[in-house]
Amino acid sequence: MSASAAVSIEHPELRAALDLFVAWIEYRLAYWSLPSLAVAVVHDQRLLWSRAFGEADVERHIPATPATIYRIGSVTKLFTATAVMRLRDAGALKLDDPVAQHLPWFKIAREAAHEGVELTVRQLLCHTSGLPREAAFPYWETMDFPSMVEVRDGLVRQSSALPPESQWKYSNLAVALAGEIVAAVSAMPYARYVERHILEPLGMRSTFVDGMTADDARLARGYGRRFPRAPRQRREVGDIGGLIAAGNMASTVEDLARFAMLQFRTGANAQDPVLAGTTLKEMQRMHWLEPGWQAGWGLGFRVYHEDGRTCIGHGGLVPGHAAELRVLPAEKIAVIVLSNAEDTWPVLYAQRATASLVPAMAAASSGRPPAAELDPGLSRYLGRYRNAWGDSQVLLGVRGLRIIAPAMLDPTEGIDTLVPVAPHIFRIESTSGYGAPGELVTFELGPDGQATALKVGEHRRYRVAEW
């Protein structure tokens, strides 16, 4: 897809892909009892589409909106890496500086086999330092988070887990130390540096680095994962102390869209107030390749291949909230997914958005004329249908009606296309032999002219207002 090609949200290909994506999300929220989900799609320097589903506060029935604030967990690490790179560009540090050069107090015990290599700033950002994953406290169990002074003091009880640059090993402790380097080099608290030099230039006015309490009215209420035979419980925390640079921030999908737009300003002469284009490209390229040659790390960014596309980004998980920010540099497309439930797995929604929307956006920007206008009378058949055996949803596609099985992990599998043969009767076209290709679908209408049921053979599914 041409990076500069304009994309209309109303193009039939894109509209049909979005309708399918929305139907799939609504089904999953209903059947998985998820409280809420917010999604944004960015194309280059434009917020193409955003929408929220469900409730930001289930008990008070407050609906989520694209402006709802969620905790973004480890997506914070991208802002920490951006801060480090901004200081690097200013000449205040080098990526291969030893950590101890900027944090003279840094010291951790090492196995004999780990000696001889000083930990560097680059290794902190690429997760190749070999440091333990966490600081020396059980904070994810107790929800009692140590201060940075306590994290520093706790180093005497820890030792390196692997030799530096022996393999990729994710570490919240490492990125917390990177945040302390930002503070030490800039002579400014980490949170204030990020606010002044990243959030303010990008216009991210609904994003917070610190200062959020568990009961802050601006935040979506947080919920834990759902256990068998038990209701979902509230799970919330305030600031996470010395781990702030690793996972403390809160934001909205619309604000994070602004950060995603920054990632596309990578021209050789681009001089954004936050980072130069060449620096953005440096962050986005592979600095550590994992053995399978399919994924690795840039500077702060996870870099990976999926369905032949190169993606970069980061996920996040903190008590009560989960997040995913995904960027496709070549296509200049980004997807942001935020939720107030720990078991949402936002990466699934980002994957589905990528698979569904990227081809549709390419079609929408191709210059090909859209398909002929569809009969507006088809709208009478659209909706959700159910019987004891399963659920179906009738949507508009580019060429007419189609039936999907929204319970599928990939809702594009087994889509039935409906070809009109008589009033309210359609023939099924499908590549799935488990369906009913070649058979007829008959819609039964109510007094208002709207469909009340669909019948395949002698079996009916009845229209329902919601899942």
* pLDDT band, very low/low/confident/very high, at 3 (cuts 50, 70, 90): very low
CA distance linking residue 62 with residue 241, whole number of Å = 29
**Whether residues 229 and 350 fall in one domain:** yes
Quick one: 318 and 412 in the same domain? no
Q: Is the pLDDT of residue 4 over 70?
A: no
Lowest mean pLDDT among 31-35, 162-166, 296-300: 162-166
What pLDDT is attached to residue 212?
86
CA distance 182 to 175: 11
Q: Which two tokens stand for residue 392?
A: 């179906």
Q: Give the model confidence (pLDDT) of 327-384 as tens digits.
A: 999 999 999 999 999 999 999 999 999 999 999 998 888 777 666 678 889 999 999 9
Read off the CATH number of the domain in which 366 is found: 3.40.710.10
Mean pLDDT, the chain, whole residue set: 94
> Are residues 380 and 459 part of one domain?
yes
- The residue from 352, 370, 388 where one domain ends is 370
**Domain enclosing residue 161, as ranges:** 1-370
Same structural domain for residues 285 and 415? Answer: no
pLDDT, tens digit, 9 for 90 and up, residues 98-126: 999 999 999 998 766 666 678 999 999 99
* Separation between Cα atoms, residue 169 and residue 129, nearest integer Å: 8
Same domain? 30 vs 58: yes
Question: Which CATH number covers residue 446?
Answer: 2.40.128
User: How far apart are the C-alpha atoms of 286 and 333, rounded to whole Å?
Assistant: 19
Q: Which residues contact 372 (CB under 8 A, 6 or more apart)?
A: none
**Domain end call among 323, 341, 370:** 370
Query: What is the model's pLDDT at position 369?
Result: 67
Work out the pLDDT band at 424, boundaries 50, 70, 90.
Answer: very high
Claim to verify: residue 353 and residue 382 sit in the same structural domain: no
Same domain, residue pair 319 and 395: no
Structural contact between residues 123 and 285, judged by C-beta atoms closer than 8 angstroms = no
Same domain, 99 and 117: yes
Mark whether 387 and 361 lie in a shared domain: no
Q: Cα(343)–Cα(318) distance, rounded to whole angstroms?
A: 11
Checking if the pLDDT of 448 tops 80, the result is: yes
Q: Are residues 381 and 364 in the same domain?
A: no
Query: Is there a single domain that holds both residue 342 and residue 457?
Result: no
Report how far residue 287's alpha carbon sits from residue 300's, in angstroms, rounded to the nearest whole number: 10
Question: Which residue type, as a one-letter code, is found at position 270?
Answer: A
Number of domains in the chain: 2
Domain ends where: 339, 370, 401?
Answer: 370
pLDDT digits (tens, 9 = 90+) for 195-226: 999 999 999 999 999 998 888 888 999 999 99
Same domain, 250 and 390: no
Residue from 137, 106, 136 nearest 121 by CA: 106
Structure-token pair, residue 167:
């393999």
